[in-house]
Amino acid sequence: MATTHIKRSTSASRLVNYAEKRAVKQDGLNLDIQYAKSEFKQVRDIYGNPGKTQAYASRIAFSPLEFNPQAPHDQATVLAVAKEVYAKAYPNQQVALYEHADTDSLHVHAVIGAINLETGQKMHGNWHQYRDRLVQITDQVCQERGLMVTQPDPNRHEKRSMAEIKLRAKHQPTWKDQIRQAVDHTMQNPLICDFQAFQADLKQQAVKVWERGKNLTYQLLGTNYKSRGTKLGIDYEKETIFNELASRQTQSRTNQQPERATKATVDSAQSDPGRTPKLPGHPDSTASHSQNVSRSTTSADRTDRRTSQPTVSDNLKQLRQQQRQLASPIKTDLTKRLRNVSKTDQSDQSEKSDHPQTDSNRARPKQPTPQPTQQPSEPDHSRDDGPSR
């Protein structure tokens, strides 16, 4: 049974320096293992593609139940298995292999050059894809050699490194355990329904969390200790956290809908008591039921009712006739009043027309009436009867 691991590195020489110090056996693919560092550098210079990523660090560990770390035969077998795995996974790249026996299980460190010797291109993609492919090839080789194939534990929700396992055996807490406990405490609160609330609650527990691509990164405040959710376990990964928060939001919305409907019914009943629905056990329900029964009549009863009772059109006619009768005296009285008003207006207008003439006469000065002119009359000879003197 073998477990695998792979990650990106910015320095191939640093990986080689670490691995070759404690190696009990070593071997290489597409390079001379004695000059691994210089050959890695030569390939980078030839293809003119130095970049930041120089190599990938990988490791294959075997179960102590199958191989003894101190047995030379087992050491040779493990190195041969590891060489076959990497030859199938990276046939066109430089690979330096270093076997360690300083733990309970034999394991092989591999330094994989980032440049493809045929195309001159670097490895591009997600290291999770590289790991999945490496796991698949490792299981295939182990099965062909009759070794146990690693079966993932579906109930394993936490991932722990070897250092954590050793500290836990000594009953010593680790900083990763502090982060796990803080996340567990936060997710136990049913009121946490979104990522902002998740961040705020963790901050109160001295843990900072933020999104980084497809992962979540956790860090203890005041320290440089930080880890991705994929390193802590399945329960702390971004997909698991976001799915749980989304399900809580959906559940809260479904719970709010019946509460809103109940509240709306109560409000409508309070605003209009007459519209309150009557329950079957209420005393008024019997009367309403009888009314409903009386309304459901047959067509024959409705025909008899039409002949015996006046129709709606007849009622309207009677109502209009009554309105006419009531309106006729009012109309007569109104006509008389209008006539009197018109006569009064006419008299007032005549008086107003006379007043201006009087005033004009008063304003004019009196002119002397012309006297008739007297013409000289002829002498009256009738009076001269006697002699003139």
Query: What is the Cα–Cα distance from 384 to 211, expressed in whole angstroms?
Result: 162
Q: How many residues does the chain have?
A: 389
In this structure, the number of other CB atoms found within 10 A of the CB of residue 155 comes to 6
**What is the DSSP secondary structure assignment for residue 372, as one 8-state letter?**
P
Q: Which residue in 147, 57, 73 sits closest to 110, CA to CA?
A: 57
Q: Residue 276 corresponds to which tokens in the numbers above?
A: 């309150």
Measured CA to CA, the distance from residue 113 to residue 120 in angstroms comes to: 11
Lowest mean pLDDT across 41-45, 109-113, 252-256: 252-256
In tens, the pLDDT along 4-16 reads: 778 888 899 999 9
DSSP state of 181: H
Q: Which residues pair with 210 in a beta bridge?
A: 217
Structure confidence by residue, pLDDT tens digits, 126-163: 666 788 888 889 989 988 988 888 776 555 555 666 66
Count Cβ atoms within 10 A of the Cβ of residue 117 and give its class: 0-12 exposed, 13-18 middle, 19 or more buried: middle
CA dist 142 and 110 (Å) reads: 18
Q: Which of 186-190, 250-254, 335-339 has the highest mean pLDDT?
A: 186-190
